[in-house]
């Protein structure tokens, strides 16, 4: 039998309910939008790729477990951590638009997202645009394909993140002043 990378299903319900009852820290979204079980698929995919790379898991066993070739999974992970297959400029522009919306635009988009969620059968995943994680995975896993992001592109993504952080801080200050 091939090794399994699945989470143990035999966790007793009592421990789950006490864990769920504990509120540690601040959720990343408002309480009505926060998920009690965040999507960990990217973290799981990174773990699987790292297990194969470290030879802890054979390619054959990994293929049997994940249902795809580990090389294809690596491409999927790198794409998601980077720009999602888009050009750096396009990914940055879309991400900036998300943070530069007015309150009215946000309300319209929320209603549109709710309508799309009811029709959604396949999850559309946004690119992470995480230059530090991309660099780490690239060096650790030896990812050097022709579509790999260059250092110039990764620096542009970092600059974009600094600009977004500035926008978010300004929004926090504005909200505090209005409260």
Per-residue pLDDT of 36-83, as tens digits, reads 777 899 999 999 999 999 999 899 998 998 899 999 999 999 999 999
Q: What's the confidence (pLDDT) of residue 20?
A: 46
Mean pLDDT value across the chain: 80
- pTM of the predicted structure, to 2 decimals: 0.70
CB 70 within 8 A of CB 49: yes
Q: Among 92-106, 117-131, 137-151, name the most confident range.
A: 137-151
């Amino acid at each position: 039998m091939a090794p399994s990378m699945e989470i143990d299903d035999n966790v007793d319900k009592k421990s789950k309910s006490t864990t769920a009852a504990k509120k540690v820290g601040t959720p990343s979204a408002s309480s009505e939008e926060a998920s009690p079980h965040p999507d960990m698929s990217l973290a799981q995919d990174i773990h699987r790729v790292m297990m194969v790379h470290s030879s802890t898991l054979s390619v054959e066993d990994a293929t049997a477990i994940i249902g795809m070739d580990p090389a294809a999974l690596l491409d999927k992970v790198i794409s998601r951590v980077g720009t999602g297959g888009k050009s750096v400029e396009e990914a940055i522009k879309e991400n900036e638009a998300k943070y530069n919306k007015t309150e009215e635009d946000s309300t319209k988009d929320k209603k549109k997202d709710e309508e799309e969620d009811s029709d959604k059968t396949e999850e559309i995943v946004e690119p992470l645009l995480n230059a530090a994680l991309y660099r780490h995975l690239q060096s650790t896993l030896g990812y050097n394909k022709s579509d790999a992001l260059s250092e110039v592109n990764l620096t542009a993504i970092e600059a974009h993140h600094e600009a977004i952080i500035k926008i978010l801080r300004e929004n926090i200050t504005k909200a505090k002043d209005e409260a």
